[in-house]
Amino acid sequence: MEKGMSSGMHFMLGNHTCVEGAIAAGCRFFAGYPITPASEIAERMARRMPETDGIFIQMEDEIASICAVTGASWAGLKAMTATSGPGFSLMQEGIGFAVATETPCVIINVQRIGPSTGSIFGQQGDVMQARWGTHGNCHEIIALAPSSVQEMFDLTIDAFNLSEKYRVPVILLAEASVGHLRESLIIPEPEQIKIVNRKKPSVPPEKFVLWEAEENDSPPMVAFGDGYRVYYTAHLHTEKGYPVLSLPKYPLAEKVLKRLSSKIKLNINKITKFETRYLDDAKIIVVSYGSSARAALRAVFEARKAGIKAGYLRLITVWPFHDQKIKELCASANTIIVAEVNNGQIVHEIQRSIDDREKVVPLLKLADTHTPGEILTKIEEAT
262/312 same-domain check:
no
Q: How many CB atoms lie within 10 A of CB 328?
A: 12
> Residue 46 to residues 31, 43, 49, 64, 273: CA-CA distances in angstroms?
10, 5, 6, 17, 32
Q: What is the pLDDT of residues 11-61, one digit of tens each?
A: 999 999 999 999 999 999 999 999 999 999 999 999 999 999 999 999 999
250/318 same-domain check:
no
Strands (E), 250-359: 274-277, 284-288, 310-315, 317-319, 335-340
Average pLDDT over residues 100-123: 93
Residue 329 has pLDDT above 50, yes or no: yes
Last residue of one domain, picked from the residues 234, 249, 268: 268
Residue 1 has pLDDT above 50, yes or no: no
- What CATH number does the domain containing 181 carry? 3.40.50.970
Last residue of one domain, picked from the residues 169, 192, 215: 192
Q: Does residue 286 lie within any of the structural domains? A: yes
225/294 same-domain check:
no
Q: Does residue 85 lie within any of the structural domains? A: yes
The pLDDT value given to residue 232? 84
Q: How far apart are CA 43 and CA 51, in angstroms?
A: 13
Phi, psi torsion values for 212, nearest 5 degrees:
-85, 125
182/222 same-domain check:
no
Q: Does residue 371 lie within any of the structural domains? A: yes
> 204: buried, middle or exposed (CB in 10 Å: 19+, 13-18, 0-12)?
exposed
Q: Which domain holds residue 138?
A: 8-192
124/170 same-domain check:
yes
The pLDDT value given to residue 2? 54
Cα torsion angle, 372, 13, 80, 88, sign: positive
Q: How far apart are CA 131 and CA 163, in angstroms?
A: 15
- What CATH number does the domain containing 344 carry? 3.40.50.920
Q: How far apart are CA 42 and CA 359, in angstroms?
A: 43
Q: What is the pLDDT of residues 80-104, one digit of tens each?
A: 999 999 999 999 999 999 999 999 9
283/251 same-domain check:
no
Q: How far apart are CA 106 and CA 354, in angstroms?
A: 31
> Residue 266 to residues 138, 208, 269, 271, 320: CA-CA distances in angstroms?
15, 25, 8, 10, 11
Last residue of one domain, picked from the residues 167, 192, 217: 192
185/51 same-domain check:
yes
183/34 same-domain check:
yes
Picking from 74, 39, 28, the residue whose alpha carbon sits closest to that of residue 230 is: 74
Whether residue 31 contacts residue 78, with contact meaning beta carbons closer than 8 Å, is answered with: no
Q: Does residue 197 lie within any of the structural domains? A: no
State what percent of residues in the chain have pLDDT above 70: 99
120/76 same-domain check:
yes
20/128 same-domain check:
yes
Q: What pTM does this model have?
A: 0.95
Q: How many CB atoms lie within 10 A of CB 116?
A: 7
Strands 142-144 and 317-319: antiparallel
Q: Does residue 97 lie within any of the structural domains? A: yes
Q: Does residue 2 lie within any of the structural domains? A: no
Torsion of CA 291, 292, 297, 298, to 10 degrees: 90
The pLDDT value given to residue 19? 98
237/377 same-domain check:
no
Counting the structural domains of the chain, the total is: 3
Q: How many CB atoms lie within 10 A of CB 371?
A: 13
50/186 same-domain check:
yes
